[in-house]
């Protein structure tokens, strides 16, 4: 099968538009490389603590996103048990914060993957529509020009 000049022009335009479409889609993709491991978030958030001095126990580290009232409430709850479980409660709160951060990272990555799949499908669809429309336009233009030559 030999390609005429119009078809060769269509192939060149199709390849160039494919390269542009790939570039646009790739540069528009969302990052999905958030670390989802709880241990990573535990280490990352370890410096974001508030030290509370508790009589009879010593210094206990709480997450710094807690208010003083919330810390006091947790200390009161921990001191009401025998033996006092304030340190365990503080560690549990820090672990929960790391798990929450891990879950948020996982949610971010999943949403990004979905968004990237939609962008890829849209890019492929737009490119195919452009290529088909360009071919049909060239075919229609050739048909019209052949009509003028026939008379």
* Contact present, 42 and 94 (Cβ < 8 Å): yes
For residue 16, tell me if it sits in a domain. Answer: no
The pLDDT assigned to 109 comes to 87
For residue 122, tell me if it sits in a domain. Answer: yes
For residue 55, tell me if it sits in a domain. Answer: yes
Q: Of 62, 149, 46, 30, whose CA–CA distance to 101 is shortest?
A: 46
Number of structural domains, the chain? Answer: 1
For residue 21, tell me if it sits in a domain. Answer: no
For residue 106, tell me if it sits in a domain. Answer: yes
* Contact present, 113 and 32 (Cβ < 8 Å): yes
Q: What is the pLDDT of residues 16-55, one digit of tens each?
A: 999 999 999 999 888 878 787 877 877 777 777 777 777 7
Q: What is the pLDDT of residues 62-113, one digit of tens each?
A: 777 777 788 788 777 777 776 777 778 878 888 888 888 888 888 888 988 9
φ/ψ of residue 61, rounded to 5 = -90, 125
The pLDDT assigned to 21 comes to 95
For residue 23, tell me if it sits in a domain. Answer: no
> Which residues span the domain enclosing 74?
37-151
pLDDT band at 151 (very low <50, low <70, confident <90, very high): low
Which neighbouring-strand residues pair with 10? Answer: none
The pLDDT assigned to 150 comes to 66
For residue 25, tell me if it sits in a domain. Answer: no
pLDDT band at 128 (very low <50, low <70, confident <90, very high): very high
Q: How far apart are CA 64 and CA 25, in angstroms?
A: 40
Q: What is the mean pLDDT of residues 126-143?
A: 93
For residue 9, tell me if it sits in a domain. Answer: no
């Amino acid at each position: 099968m030999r390609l005429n000049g119009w078809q060769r022009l269509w192939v060149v335009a199709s390849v160039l538009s494919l390269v542009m479409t790939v570039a646009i889609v790739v540069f528009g993709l969302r990052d999905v490389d958030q670390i989802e491991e709880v241990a990573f978030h535990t280490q990352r958030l370890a410096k974001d603590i508030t030290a509370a001095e508790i009589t009879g126990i010593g210094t206990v580290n709480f997450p710094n996103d807690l208010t003083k009232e919330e810390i006091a409430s947790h200390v009161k709850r921990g001191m009401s048990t025998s033996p006092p479980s304030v340190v365990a409660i503080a560690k549990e709160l820090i672990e929960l914060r790391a798990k929450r951060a891990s879950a948020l990272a996982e949610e971010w990555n999943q949403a990004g993957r979905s968004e990237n799949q939609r962008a890829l499908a849209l890019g492929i669809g737009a490119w195919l529509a452009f290529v088909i429309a360009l071919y049909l336009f060239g075919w229609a233009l050739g048909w019209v020009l052949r009509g003028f030559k026939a008379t």
